[in-house]
Amino acid sequence: MRKLAVVAFGGNALLQGGQIGTIDEQEQNAFETCEKLVTLVKEKDYNLVITHGNGPQVGNLMLNNIAGYKLYGLPEMPLDICVAYSQGFIGYVIEQQLKNVLLKNDLDRDIITIVTQVLVNKDDKAFQNPTKPIGPYYSKEEADKISAETGAVFAEDPRGRGWRKVVASPKPLVINNKKSIEKIAREGTIVVAVGGGGIPVFYAEENKLQGIDAVIDKDLASALLAAQINADKFFILTDVPKVCLHFNTPQEKALDRLSIADAKTYLEEGHFAEGSMAPKIRAAIYFVEHSGKDAIITKTTKLGIDDGGTRIVMI
């Protein structure tokens, strides 16, 4: 039987820094990402579940909301609905471009997107401390102006790319339809699920689910899914080839292998920035602790290479 891998696409898999987000740009980026991903299907013979971020896209959808309300009086949609919108259109883009790559490589696999709800706790402390960046980058002056007009909270990007709106990011508790996701994937269909970390929902009362204004961390939700469906490998794709200590300094040191004990120590010492590498490290730790298997953090171009990326292991 084929092994099962969960691959978490970073936001740059569809929309890269400096781009304005046209569908042509996003389709091209998705195609290039899927060209690297196909190595896991063609050479490593994995069954796949693909998850993805939606930070830039969901932020842009919210801007469309504001513009539509101001110009035409259209009702603004809450954040959970924007996450659902983004799941649908990003899933479509990934499905289409991955299919194009599979056809190019004479591979025959079905691909299906599952719009995924994820249960959170409405009393999660994250709602009092928004940290999850969404939407485009702004200058400090632009961010201050928008904040004054709308009450939005902004934080500076740890890599100096500007300021981004931040929203609550509660802990994911339950992935809806995880049994179906695993069954379909193990049968050979490539599944796109938990887009943008999943649509955040909670129980407003017994047996009544309701959306809530938040964005769940994509990597942590992906790690939860990977552990719950007994994935053999968990890949977290980002825009750097390996995890580094003292990132972007003269003392920068790339790590080939990282035990969860060392990973926790480096997190506590502040080596990994919030809104950047820290959530990825936490997600990798979660998967390794709950599955006993390895997680790999790497760049898309390093997928399937034996020494590519940073391998996070139990010991």
Residue 94 to residue 294: CA distance in whole angstroms: 25
Q: Has 280 been annotated as catalytic?
A: yes
Residue 4 to residue 182: CA distance in whole angstroms: 9
Q: Has 299 been annotated as catalytic?
A: no
Residue 219 to residue 279: CA distance in whole angstroms: 7
Catalytic residue from among 36, 132, 165, 242: 132
Catalytic residue from among 91, 280, 308, 309: 280
Catalytic residue from among 36, 165, 178, 218: 218
End-to-end CA distance of the chain: 28
Q: Has 17 been annotated as catalytic?
A: no
CA angle 245, 251, 256 (to 5 degrees): 40
Residue 141 to residue 225: CA distance in whole angstroms: 39
Q: Has 132 been annotated as catalytic?
A: yes
* Contact indicator for 185, 4 with CB cutoff of 8 Å: yes
Catalytic residue from among 12, 29, 47, 60: 12
Q: Has 145 been annotated as catalytic?
A: no
What residues does 296 pair with on adjacent strands? 235, 311
> Distance of CA 98 to CAs 5, 32, 104, 183, 277, Å?
16, 9, 10, 20, 26
Residue 240 to residue 236: CA distance in whole angstroms: 11
Task: Using alpha carbons, select from 179, 307, 255, 221 the residue that is nearest to residue 6.
Answer: 221
Give the tokens for residue 57: 């896209």
- The catalytic residue positions are 11-12, 132, 218, 280
